[in-house]
A = this chain, B = another copy of it.
Amino acid sequence: MTYRAPINDILLSLNHGAGLAAAVEAGHYGDFDGDITAAVLEEAGKFASDVLAPLNKVGDEHGIKLDNGKVTTAPGWPDAYQRWTAAGWNAVSGPEAFGGQGLPLAINAACTEIWSASNVAFGLCPLLTLSAIEALDAHGNDELKKIYLEKLVTGEWTGTMQLTEPNAGSDVGALRTRAERAPDGTYRIKGTKIFITYGEHDMTDNIVHFVLARLPDAPAGTKGISLFLVPKFLVNADGTLGARNDIHASGVEHKLGMHASPTCTMTMGDKGGAIGFLIGEENAGMRCMFTMMNQARLGVGLEGVGIADRAYQQALAYAQERRQGKALGHKGDGMDPIIVHPDVKRMLMQMRSMTAAARTICYATAVALDVSVRAKDAKVRADAAARGALLTPIAKAFSTDIGNEVAYLGVQVHGGMGFIEETGAAQHYRDARITSIYEGTNGIQSIDLVTRKLGANGGASVWALLDELAATIKQVETSNDPAFGTTGAKLRDAHAALARASKWLLERLAAAPNEALAGATPYLRLFGATLGGCMLAGEALAAKAKGEAEPQRYVALARFFAENIAVQAPSLEKTVTESAEAVTGADAVLA
């Protein structure tokens, strides 16, 4: 079956769960009035269903080929990419001065979900281009922008992010790729990068690599890293392509999933060094990299949402069609569709509600990032920046954890058929697996949440968010809608648990930081479960208030999440606050 973008769910999430409508209303989005949103998403959904979704399995089965430094993507992929960029999809949120449409990141976030749902390995390529655009736009000089930015914004060329080396993964400061100053102000780069997504491909005639490297006199660690733009083909003064640069794909990985996305080993310097152009200042590459990575982290979170929704849609369709057994009380012959069985309903509701929660968390992150640059008021921008920073690791890690869990359940709903590759459920399961690893493992995200986001300002960002969530919970309770079941009570318990765990972590961060780090992963889960639960409840309230056709659908969804996922919060709190010794004292067991 193909994929259908759930436009109504997306719009409710974007406008009400994630707060886009309120931000527009408050004037934080300038001229953008939101009228265009639905139309853009409808068109994105159509393109995704018609063009990208059918190529998802093709890409998985064909994979990519590397031959003599050239990568061939799966049949139909280059053509689909051309059509996709020609329709303007790469430029949705790009800067208008460079050929972009200047639409909010929030709109593009919804589109990213749609590309990921229809074909995650395809959507991964522009995701990295988007990060490259962000870094070049923020830190590049005018000359580099003039040559490269529009081509990247339109998608005529794609971008890569080249951080990882065999001995420098999570610890990027350990990288060894060398950059030497050339007399003409450019640099010569030599070294090997691994795990470079779309490092080489046949979908565009140039690729713009963004490479982290170290100058000969650079300080050790992350303070000695610089960012360079290294084009596959150099660009002549007239904009035409010039000489082939000294960077090439020397290998591709054989991976569990994402078969259609080439993951390359990139070698620079076989012929004296790749010509590189400095982005920003020497030794200031980490800041540029974080600009790239935050965007990419949100994007990967949206991959989690997209894969989850695709897996859900497929499992739902199967459960409605496949007949096995009978519902309790069913009289007579014949079997019922398996969706009548409570255990199957539970799986499907878990899939759908977790997907919806992750979606809104990701969209809310995008809205915060939008407001942080678009709002007129400096305080509003600063608050939004803090909110975006706080939400980014949750958007990345919680959503990708959920992408994996939902894809797991998607296989389970299919029973034995789920294990058979032809069914397609297994592809989602395989593809999802990388999302909790790349762009900073989910463990790294959790540590970022605890140390930099919670810890940075004495918890102020967290308390501000908790105040908003408390208001939503109060609204649920005062709504007196019996269809909410115990949603209010569950969310109140979760909120209190999150507040206590946050305070405990802040205290431990100062007194015994290893104990805080030991609780980072369950804390992020606790945060996501509480936040997601409140957001879904908020959406349900909004659906009721604005007279949606079937508001009870959203109430039932929020209720399920609260009673099955957010309900775990008190246990997660105890895991954070009472198991640190069991972790830090693990050496005796693990020796």
Contact = CB atoms under 8 A, between A and B. Distances in A.
B349 A582 contact: yes
Contact of A257 (B324, B325, B419, B557): B419
Given A346-B518, A430-B256, A513-B328, A567 B579 contact: yes
A433 B328 CA distance: 29
B345 A586 contact: yes
Nearest to A322: B169
Contacts of A255: 419-421
Given A415-B170, A433-B419, A582 B553 contact: no
Nearest to A258: B419
Interface string A413-455: 0011011111000100110011011100111001100000000
A291 to B, nearest CB: 22
B564 A422 contact: no
Interface in A557-585: 557, 559-560, 563-564, 567-571, 574-575, 578-579, 581-585
A344 interface: yes
A590 B419 contact: no
A254 B421 contact: yes
A171 interface: yes
Contact of A590 (B254, B339, B567, B571): B339
A252 to B, nearest CB: 11
Interface residues of A, number: 96
B560 A571 contact: no
Given A345-B590, A437-B416, A571-B568, A325 B517 contact: no
A323 B257 CA distance: 26
A49 B430 CA distance: 28
A217 B547 CA distance: 59
B433 A583 contact: no
Interface stretch (A126-134, A206-214, A404-412, A464-472): A404-412
A548 interface: no
A569 B344 CA distance: 22
A584 B433 CA distance: 31
Nearest to A489: B578
B422 A437 contact: no
Contacts of A522: 564
A521 interface: yes
B570 A556 contact: no
Given A174-B335, A590-B348, A585 B567 contact: no
Contacts of A254: 420-422
A563 B581 CA distance: 10
Contact of A415 (B344, B408, B411, B437): B437
Nearest to A436: B412
Nearest to A418: B437
B564 A343 contact: no
Nearest to A338: B170
A588 interface: yes
A352 interface: yes
A520 B346 CA distance: 10
Contacts of A343: 443, 446-447, 517-518, 520-521
B590 A552 contact: no
A419 B437 contact: yes
A514 interface: yes
Contacts of A345: 518, 583-584, 586-587, 590
Contacts of A485: 578, 581-582
A404 B408 contact: yes
A556 B513 CA distance: 21
A545 interface: no
Interface string A468-508: 00000000000000000110001000000000000000000
B579 A316 contact: no
A342 interface: yes
A589 interface: yes
A81 B269 CA distance: 51
3 tightest CB-CB pairs across the interface, nearest first? A563-B579, A342-B518, A343-B443
Interface of A: 164, 167, 169-171, 174, 194-195, 220, 253-258, 316, 323-325, 328, 333, 335, 339, 341-349, 352, 404, 408, 411-412, 415-416, 418-422, 426, 429-430, 433-434, 436-438, 441-443, 446-447, 485-486, 490, 513-515, 517-518, 520-522, 550, 552-553, 556-557, 559-560, 563-564, 567-571, 574-575, 578-579, 581-590
Given A169-B324, A342-B514, A343-B443, 6 more contacts: A174-B335, A316-B590, A345-B518, A419-B434, A419-B437, A490-B574
5 contacts: A167-B323, A342-B518, A408-B433, A556-B586, A560-B579
